[in-house]
Amino acid sequence: MRQLLHDIEFKETHSRLGLKINSHLNGLDKSKKDDKQKILELCQIGKLLATYFNDFEITQVIEKPDFIISNGQTQFGLEHELILDSKAKAQEGFYENICEKVEVNLENDPSVPNVLVNLHLKDNLSFKINDKTDLITRLTELDKHFILTGELYDNDIVNNAHRMKHTQKSVNANFGAYWQKAITKDLILEYVSKKESKISAYRQNTKLPLWLVLIIGGVGQSSFEVNELLNIELTTDFHKVFLYEDFDNKLYELK
């Protein structure tokens, strides 16, 4: 396992990212689950290519594998895979979905201007699925009041909130401070093995050598980080295997 280095500024990466993915975002609707997932995949792989492999472009967005990339001379199939703590992600997903429903309610309210709201949720929330409808209603009312007045009234869901001008109405859930878990050799091997079992289908669909990109380093408690370089020897038919820390934009080559 070795870390790959880059020497470009964030601003340059952001500029390159648009060139990599904007044409592929056309027609995708973030309110649809499958499209939202594909938008995330495009952003993550686009940023990786923009930073570390800028001569490569995403030429096709497909399934099994997720993408075909090319530098004009060589093509690869590329499979994207998130490594997450499933239990923590289920809790995050519950509140993220509620915020998405609040967004829809606010979009349908002409009295609310375009704004980005970050909600800092209270620790140890214990709401259940049966509370979801009530939570959506309560958070819609709380958000609207906060957006229009700047006042966050007392409640048992949100500890703090911030707002800023935006091109649309957007509500984000912030889960506060947490300790990210360190990625382990066993977890990496587990995910590589899971993808290895599908490699024949990827090859049949593309007839190309394949890259596997394992994604960690998000902004929630469900994510993992690299604490040390691990001694990993992979036996795999993937041409290349990478581990990518998304938030910190760090890339590690595993094969």
Query: Percent of the chain scored above 90 by pLDDT?
Result: 68
pLDDT of res. 38: 93
Percentages helix, strand, coil for the chain, rounded to the nearest 5?
40, 25, 35
Tokens 């859930």 belong to which residue? 173
Q: Which of 185, 209, 163, 229 is nearest to 68 (CA)?
A: 209
Residue type at position 83: I
User: Residue 209, preceding bond cis, omega within 30 degrees?
Assistant: no
Dihedral, 52, 56, 59, 62 alpha carbons, nearest 10: -40
pLDDT of res. 96: 87
Q: Which of 232, 153, 143, 250 is nearest to 187 (CA)?
A: 232
- H helices of the chain, in order, are 10-25, 33-52, 86-107, 132-149, 185-196, 199-206
So where are the chain's domains?
A: 2-83+183-253, 87-174
What's the rounded Cα separation, in Å, for the pair 128 and 120?
A: 19
pLDDT of res. 219: 63
pLDDT of res. 222: 73
Q: Which residues of 243-255 are buried (b: 16+ CB within 10 A; e: fewer)?
A: bbbbeebbbbebb
Q: Is the pLDDT of residue 178 over 70?
A: no
Backbone angles phi, psi at 30, to 5 degrees: -65, -15
Q: Is the pLDDT of residue 130 over 80?
A: yes
Tokens 């394949």 belong to which residue? 210
**For residues 78 and 53, is the Cβ–Cβ distance under 8 A?**
no
How much is the average pLDDT of 158-165? 91
If phi > 0 it is left, if psi is from -120 to 50 it is alpha, else beta; for residue 132 that is alpha
Residue type at position 76: F
Q: Is the pLDDT of residue 218 over 90?
A: no
How much is the average pLDDT of 146-156? 95
Beta partners for 69? 58, 76
What's the rounded Cα separation, in Å, for the pair 163 and 161?
A: 7
pLDDT tens track for 74-83: 999 999 999 9
pLDDT tens track for 51-106: 999 999 999 999 899 999 999 999 999 999 999 877 777 777 888 899 999 999 99
Q: Is the pLDDT of residue 181 over 90?
A: no
What's the rounded Cα separation, in Å, for the pair 130 and 133?
A: 7
**For residues 214 and 242, is the Cβ–Cβ distance under 8 A?**
yes
Tokens 């939202």 belong to which residue? 36
